Chain A
Amino acid sequence: MISIRNLTFSRGDRKIFDNISLDIMPHKITAIMGPSGTGKTTLLKLIGGQLTPDSGSIVVNQQNVHQLSRSELYKLRKKMGMLFQSGALLTDMSVYDNIAFPIREHTQLTEAMIRTVVLMKLNAVGLRGARDLMPSELSGGMARRVAMARALALDPEMIMYDEPFTGQDPISLGVLVQLIKTLNHTLHLTSIVVSHDVQETASIADYIYLISAGKVIGHGTPDEIRNTESDWVQQFMQGKADGPVPFHYPANDFGHELFANDTQQ
């Protein structure tokens, strides 16, 4: 479905991705995990064609995303749903209008048909009763579910989730995990979940890529990843405070710095 080859991308002097390659299988949930700040969101924006890589290619459905014309890219994006971390709901529209928005913009459906589609999508995420609320009246978990319904509005073939579990209470977390899994299964979607919530992500992913410092550190099914010998992977999966990723941000010798202050005075 998606194949990324030799992708390199940098922001300023910092290399976010250094020659990485990965494959996303159709109709599966692929998780991309790694510490905060490794550019997981950037990867989704590269796949969606919002950013252009320095080198390498991203091929979605046999189309190279960064060689498409603007109208071809927009056509491809209609097949991609994306769930932003913040939900990215349009704040001046109700929940109902938010979900109807892409349908109204891209199709010629009558309002009656749009209503049916919107109610179906809202029912799928369990928020049919919240259709008249404004985005500001929603809790974080509800906003993410509405955004999910909106991402599904155009019946995409794939959907990308950007940190869907971050900052959720246990109940919303359970709901979101369940939703991502069932939606993927019932709608035959290809899902990409970008996350650093190890337990939740590992419980639903079919395949996991671990990314750190611009490289793919490990990949495999959740069980394969758990049994990897790599210290780094073990530290990440078990959430140990110290290990290959040190607890301390690089600094000079502590004793030296303490006394350096005395000599200055």
Chain B
Amino acid sequence: MKFFQLIGQISIKALAKLGRAGLFFMSILSSTGYLLFRPGLLIRQIYSIGVLTFWLIAISGLFVGMVLGLQGVYTLSTFGAESSLGIMVAASLVRELGPVVSALLFAGRAGSALTAEIGLMKATEQLSGMEMMAIDPLKYIIAPRFFAGFISLPLLAALFSASGILGGHLAGVDLLHVDSGAYWSQMQTAIDFNDDIINGVIKSIIFAWLVTWIALFEGYDAIPTSAGISRATTRTVVNSSFAILLFDFLLTALMFGAP
């Protein structure tokens, strides 16, 4: 009996939280109009969320691409197909690794920072203070951060893929002497704009929505103590990583599942 009670309790808690998160998201959406009049707020957040994550994404992308280059040549040479290296590197980056790895890195770098920032603003009564000054913190603080994340992550994922392709070139062509012309031309003929690139972009847009939504909500919903904020920050990274990988599977099944 206790067991069923426990299950019930956990599900009710989870559902209530999902409900709160849903309402929270609706109120972010209703603040969109406000942002049109205050582009400065959005630009500042794009800088701190997106631009400051630039080098992390660029360098990680380069290394992932280089590993792909090395592994690719090693595997493909067994079949004498080194010249297809370009396809392998680009397809894996654009379809999967670009959106997924950049979203995971983004959750760790920007997501956790967002949660901690919002949670601390709550703990130090800055959010209540704003409400009492008749300024809606959802409009002024939360909405700009949400849209900044939503805009930044797809661009960062594209950056990740691009620098990964360069990394693959560096390892495969410059180090292991695969033909440079073959690397680029095979890539250009095999990678399809709609099937590969657009699907990857759709993925990263959905990941951007998930990560920023989770990060902002966890901060806003955090228990305003140091232990509460630290737990909320952990939850942001854990839950968004989990959500990214789950949605990646679902989206891949939808996009590439049917033969």
- Residue of A45, A78, A82, A88 most packed against chain B (CB within 10 A): A88
State whether A88 touches B134 (Cβ < 8 A). no
Cα separation A90 to B136 with both chains bound (whole Å): 14
State whether A91 touches B126 (Cβ < 8 A). yes
Pick the contact of A105 from B125, B126, B131, B135 — CB < 8 Å?
Answer: B135
> Per-position contact with B for A63-87: 1 when CB-CB < 8 Å, else 0?
0000000000011011011101110
State whether B128 touches A84 (Cβ < 8 A). yes
| Interface positions of B from 98 to 155, Cβ below 8 Å from A | 124-126, 128-136, 140
State whether B132 touches A82 (Cβ < 8 A). yes
A101 on the interface (CB 8 Å rule)?
Answer: yes
> Per-position contact with B for A183-221: 1 when CB-CB < 8 Å, else 0?
000000000000000000000000000000000000000
| Interface positions of B from 36 to 73, Cβ below 8 Å from A | none
Q: Which residues of B contact A34 (CB under 8 A)?
A: none
A48 on the interface (CB 8 Å rule)?
Answer: yes
A106 on the interface (CB 8 Å rule)?
Answer: yes
A126 on the interface (CB 8 Å rule)?
Answer: no
Interface residues of A (CB under 8 A from B): 45, 48, 50, 74-75, 77-78, 80-82, 84-86, 88-91, 101-102, 105-106, 150, 154
Q: How far is the CB of A109 from chain B (nearest CB, A)?
A: 16
Cα separation A141 to B130 with both chains bound (whole Å): 21
Cα separation A45 to B124 with both chains bound (whole Å): 15
State whether B128 touches A78 (Cβ < 8 A). no
Q: Which residues of A contact B125 (CB under 8 A)?
A: 84-86, 88
Q: How far is the CB of B116 from chain A (nearest CB, A)?
A: 13
Q: Which residues of A contact B136 (CB under 8 A)?
A: 74
Pick the contact of A50 from B124, B131, B140 — CB < 8 Å?
Answer: B131
Pick the contact of B132 from A75, A80, A101 — CB < 8 Å?
Answer: A80
State whether B129 touches A84 (Cβ < 8 A). yes
State whether A86 touches B124 (Cβ < 8 A). yes
State whether A105 touches B133 (Cβ < 8 A). yes
Residue pairs across A and B with Cβ atoms less than 8 A apart, 18 shown, are A48-B132, A77-B131, A77-B132, A78-B134, A80-B132, A82-B129, A84-B125, A88-B125, A90-B126, A90-B130, A91-B124, A101-B133, A102-B133, A102-B134, A105-B133, A105-B135, A105-B140, A150-B133
Cα separation A86 to B122 with both chains bound (whole Å): 12
Q: How far is the CB of A45 from chain B (nearest CB, A)?
A: 7
State whether B134 touches A50 (Cβ < 8 A). no
Q: Which residues of B contact A106 (CB under 8 A)?
A: 134-135
State whether B124 touches A88 (Cβ < 8 A). yes
Cα separation A78 to B128 with both chains bound (whole Å): 14
**B125 and chain A: residue at smallest CB distance:** A88
Question: With contacts A48-B131, A82-B132 known, what are 10 further pairs, Cβ within 8 A?
Answer: A50-B132, A77-B134, A78-B134, A80-B132, A84-B128, A86-B125, A90-B126, A101-B133, A102-B135, A106-B134
Q: Which residues of B contact A102 (CB under 8 A)?
A: 133-135
Q: Which residues of B contact A88 (CB under 8 A)?
A: 124-126, 128-129
Q: Which residues of B contact A105 (CB under 8 A)?
A: 133, 135, 140
Cα separation A55 to B126 with both chains bound (whole Å): 28
**B38 and chain A: residue at smallest CB distance:** A105
Q: Which residues of A contact B134 (CB under 8 A)?
A: 74-75, 77-78, 102, 106
Pick the contact of A45 from B126, B128, B133 — CB < 8 Å?
Answer: B128
Q: Which residues of B contact A75 (CB under 8 A)?
A: 134
Q: Which residues of A contact B132 (CB under 8 A)?
A: 48, 50, 77, 80-82, 84
